Amino acid sequence: MGGKGYIRYLANRDVMDFEIKKIDDWRYLIPKTGAMRVPGLIFSSSELMPNIRGDQSLLQVVNVATLPGIVKHALAMPDIHWGYGFPIGGVAAFSLEDGIISPGGVGYDINCGTRLLTTSLFASEIRPKIKELVSALFRDIPAGVGSRGNIRLSKHEESKVAVKGASWAVQKGFGTEEDLERTEDYGVMKGADPAVVSDRAFKRGHDELGTLGSGNHFLEIQSVEEIYDQKIAGVFNLFEGQLTVLIHSGSRGFGHQICDDFLKEMGTQVRGLGFSLPDRQLACAYIKSGPGKRYLAGMACAANYAWANRQIIMHWTRETFEKALEIAPGDLKMELLYDVCHNIAKLETHVLGGKKVSLCVHRKGATRSLPPGHPDVPQRYREVGQPVLIPGDMGTCSYILAGSQKAMEETFGSTCHGAGRVLSRRQAIKAAKGRAINRELEDRGIFVQSRGRNTLKEEISEAYKDVSLVVEAVHMAGLAKKVAKLRPLGVIKG
């Protein structure tokens, strides 16, 4: 092993030191020490490590490694940064027999995720109309803090959404069965039980279906700038200069409330679990316990709501393009490439020590990266692997990758999910003081509309790591394979 270093943190009034060893150019190890049950493993590069060392996300990796039932490693992707309990960009798998499930390992925005739409158009064809197109999308797709959609649900109907997911939306006329085939898990997580969801969660979600939300959620019109693998790009129906659309949204207030409800419940019961937590934000329950089973059922409800949400937003996006561009669906050919989630816990089968075992895999700010031949990859993509969607910030670029076998071997079939923040929202607003961010972007050929007064300042490029460095790290580490690079043309944000 070449290169090592130590990090010192002030944690719970005690000074905590731990070692970081460089394994190779793309992997760093935190050896098992103290209460850690497994080592920590970080996927990164020398360019990205200073940022990672600069916050307390590695301390969170160490903390996750102390949780009961964790197997192999507590993992960190190169976009890792400080989160609630678990780091954002963290992956951890737990035994179903003696392992735990933690809402902090999934996040507040359950099944926050992305879906990418391809078209038959060249971006150059619509560039003269980009402002009008962005304005039309901004009018038709509700976005922003507290945004309300055009769909009003009774509790009974909302319960159906929570059980059926994206298929509920398709049955209501929002899209086609083919969309479901190109959505992770066909857009539905089994085991959802609306009976475990609070009335407050239902109230928060009854009029938010079909809305983007706020913060880093967006709808982005893009152009395929570069193809890295022509064969996979062909299977994914991608070509240089192509017009694409990337949607990023989640389960809105419905999922947020479900997370909050279970964090409070588990936080009051954790003393009876027989182990101590290094951080109260890691509130959890044994997977086989009553609270653990109920959280899984509630989380599935939120995941299904999110898939229905993105399905509806996509359908309205198609309609807006057709109207704004005065083009027929057959000429537009706006098709779903794939939909992936990156805040979720899933019961999956993996190989450990040469044996197949059932595990609960937490991915918080991490995306599934399944290899060629995997049965959960849609048949149309099975030869080349699952499409992996990695959004950057609104001023740089995004990437499409393909899943890999090495990810199955090293990270439970996982890779990064985005660029990863380096500035808090408050720090970003301070850094953007006195600047007209929308004008800066427009000078670079990117037209942006947002509802929040400070949204564009919070989301400046400087607030994020260089997504190209993040993607290069997972590509070189073998966790996913680069397929295409996308450039933003127009963006709507809350």
Place of tokens 């959004």: 391
Q: How far apart are CA 235 and CA 229, in angstroms?
A: 10
What is the DSSP code string of 248-285? EE--HHHHHHHHHHHHHHHHHHGGGGSS--SSGGG--E
Strands 100-101 and 88-95: unpaired
Tokens in use for 411?
A: 């990270």
Single-letter code of the amino acid located at 207: D
Instruction: Determine if residue 256 is left, alpha or beta; phi over 0 gives left, psi from -120 to 50 gives alpha, anything else beta.
Output: alpha
- Among residues 256, 342, 417, 475, the one annotated as catalytic is 417
Dihedral of alpha carbons 470, 471, 476, 478, sign = positive
Provide φ and ψ at 378, rounded to 5°: -50, 145
d(CA 462, CA 392): 12
Q: By C-alpha distance, which of 179, 217, 297, 204 is closest to 255?
A: 204
- The DSSP line for 414-469 is EE--S--BSS-HHHHHHHTTT--HHHHHHHTT-EEEESSSSHHHHT-GGGB--HHH
DSSP-derived 3-state class of residue 358: strand
Residue appearing with tokens 């001023």? 395
| Burial of 351: CB neighbours in 10 Å, binned 0-12, 13-18, 19+ | exposed
Which H or E run contains 300? helix 290-325
342 is catalytic: no
Q: How far apart are CA 423 and CA 78, in angstroms?
A: 16
Taking the CA atoms of residue 299, residue 305, residue 310 and residue 311 in that order, the dihedral angle to the nearest 10 degrees is: 130
Closest CA to 391 of 369, 408, 367: 367
CB-based burial of residue 118 (10 Å sphere; 0-12 exposed, 13-18 middle, 19+ buried)? buried
Of 240, 274, 161, 265, the C-alpha closest to 207 is 161
Q: Which residues are catalytic?
A: 417
